[in-house]
Chains A and B, each alone.
Chain A
């Protein structure tokens, strides 16, 4: 799967018309310089040679060197690894928000089937799922940052010195440093971006948890438990909810695609210095190795996550064990 994604990326970047060299050099550059640059980047080779070189480089962990104006000459992988923790903090935080809100609302709706609260939650699930994420971010900024002045609207940290880099995750680094104040600052900056991204993602959890809960609540074993006089609340938490969550995990993998796409937009809304911002910066500066590297890292992360989810699936549901 990784190979296919890499091939698609290669195809898009190299085979579709569009000349990185032309974008890189000023207009009117003499032809021999253009050719020299083309040669130095290996872009004068036939596609299949380029393809093999590209694959060989990626599998040895070499993503090349940046040619953009901001990171010229730096290793693409190093730059990406500097940006990765910011995206990780954002996405993990968003996933936590999405899980809590989504499971909560899904549970409420599933238990109160066809009552007004169920309709309301279903409406929420549908609308929040198609809300433009950057717009939601802007609205939250207007309310919480501009009007109420409670939370910072932009960036990852205040004017304070960020904690020394150990993991790159500001929340963890500040705790390692023993500075609660820095931890709180980092956390404050996380709230709005995570809330924005998490809310949009929660719609999916709401719908899936509700649908699966309805199925398990009406199942034979729930009936049996009821017949044995086990209270309804206990049936729901101990029997129905547990089994309702299994299919949720199965389809969770695809949500990461939405999560990462949403993260790119959220990073832009909140000037969050993560991989999404890096990708945009590279696109705007025609930094092809960096664009390619970022996409490859995204693809890699997604493949790793889907493998992990398959494994979790096998652990919680013995029927799918291979």
Chain B
């Protein structure tokens, strides 16, 4: 009874906003901008946009030559010439950090978008068709979900090799179950709704119902998951690089590898090669999770009320 009511309320809430998907997202964001969740979301969005900006304009901001060995004197402490210092092979830390944003966002985009492209339709299908197929898919997805994502990604990365695209593929596997679960549970909650029944009664084909009726409603849960899994993807990609399974040595920016390289010089007081790349990862992941958690509170106000 309770679940029925809440999904009904959620639908009526959505129908107040006669706008397509982006509108349904932006409208509450603007309306709630003064609440804590709104402030968090906008902060997160700002941080994300900042990183996208430096990633896109990296070639204009810092010369790529500075990211390669012996372009500068080695192990310089931060100074006016090298704002974040240089590392043990004479690479400018600031340049590496800026190019690292580009690398990280590329991997993140590949990994998370492919996961979305697979997890979303499979989740729709599983939730709508139900039955045996659903049970098998849920079991498989739950098993993958319960396994340490980093280990699975490390395994795949070890087999398919290094590189931005390969690492993107390797981490995709972690997030498919996530998109699958969320889409499936959304599908289950709306599939018996009157408007879906009506479409069925009017003779709409299952595919039409799934992709134009249910998908329309289920997609509202995606932005939250998208932000949170992006944060995790950044961490996992950096983790793989840190373990030496990530990118080629000559990649212009690679936060994880830089942190790994930095470690042997911690003992002699070289802190800047470690602190700055780590701060960048942290800032980006914090931004993404602010965005995700803020959106979660804004988009699911009814769910939130039930939870607290």
Interface, chain A (partner B; CB < 8 A) = 1, 4-5, 8-9, 12-13, 16-18, 126-127, 129-135, 138-139, 141-142, 145-146, 153, 211, 214-215, 218, 253-254, 257-258, 260-261, 264-265, 268-269, 279-280, 283-284, 291, 295, 298-299, 302, 306
Contact = CB atoms under 8 A, between A and B. Distances in A.
A215 to B, nearest CB: 7
Contacts, number: 144
Contacts of B150: 261, 264-265
A295 B278 contact: no
A284 B154 CA distance: 11
A36 to B, nearest CB: 23
Interface of B: 139-140, 142-152, 154-156, 158-161, 231-232, 235, 238-239, 242-245, 256, 259-260, 262-263, 266-267, 269, 271, 274-275, 277-278, 281-282, 285-286, 288-290, 293, 307-308
B40 to A, nearest CB: 9
Contacts of B140: 4
Contact of B151 (A134, A145, A214, A279): A279
Q: Which 10 interchain pairs have the tightest Cβ spacing? A: A135-B278, A261-B150, A261-B148, A130-B285, A4-B143, A18-B159, A283-B158, A260-B148, A257-B148, A132-B281
Contact of B274 (A142, A261, A291, A299): A142
Nearest to A114: B36
A135 B273 CA distance: 11
Contacts of A132: 235, 238-239, 242, 256, 259, 278, 281-282, 285
Contacts of B285: 130-132
Given A1-B146, A130-B288, 16 more contacts: A4-B139, A126-B290, A126-B293, A130-B231, A130-B235, A131-B282, A132-B281, A135-B277, A142-B274, A211-B308, A218-B308, A265-B150, A265-B239, A269-B263, A279-B154, A302-B147
A269 B293 CA distance: 30
Best-buried of B159, B285, B293 by chain A (most CB within 10 Å): B159
Nearest to A6: B143
Contact of A13 (B155, B242, B277): B155
A264 B267 contact: no
A264 B269 contact: no
B266 A138 contact: yes
B282 A135 contact: yes
Contact of B158 (A153, A218, A291): A291
B243 A268 contact: yes
Contacts of A258: 148
Best-buried of A4, A141, A269 by chain B (most CB within 10 Å): A4
A291 B70 CA distance: 36
A126 B44 CA distance: 12
Contacts of A5: 143-144, 147
A135 B274 contact: yes
Best-buried of B151, B256, B271, B275 by chain A (most CB within 10 Å): B151
B282 A127 contact: yes
A283 B140 CA distance: 25
Contact of A138 (B143, B151, B158, B278): B278
B111 to A, nearest CB: 15
Contacts of B263: 138, 269
B159 A12 contact: yes
Contacts of A133: 239
A264 B154 contact: yes
A96 to B, nearest CB: 20
A138 B159 contact: no
B266 A8 contact: no
Contacts of B235: 130, 132
B238 A306 contact: no
A17 B160 contact: yes
B238 A141 contact: no
A13 B275 CA distance: 36
A39 B244 CA distance: 31
A127 B286 contact: yes
26 contacts: A1-B139, A4-B143, A9-B155, A12-B156, A16-B159, A18-B160, A18-B161, A130-B282, A130-B289, A132-B242, A132-B278, A132-B282, A133-B239, A135-B277, A135-B282, A138-B274, A139-B274, A146-B269, A215-B307, A218-B308, A253-B146, A260-B151, A261-B148, A264-B154, A265-B150, A280-B154
A135 B281 contact: yes
A1 B136 CA distance: 11
A257 B156 CA distance: 17
Contact of A146 (B143, B245, B266): B266
A291 B155 contact: yes
A170 to B, nearest CB: 24
A242 B162 CA distance: 48
Contacts of B244: 280, 284
A279 B269 CA distance: 30
B259 A134 contact: yes
B147 A257 contact: yes
Contacts of A302: 146-148
A138 B259 contact: yes
A39 B11 CA distance: 61
Nearest to A268: B243
Contacts of A139: 274-275, 278
Nearest to B269: A146
B308 A214 contact: yes
B146 A283 contact: no
Nearest to A257: B148
B216 to A, nearest CB: 30
Contacts of B274: 135, 138-139, 142
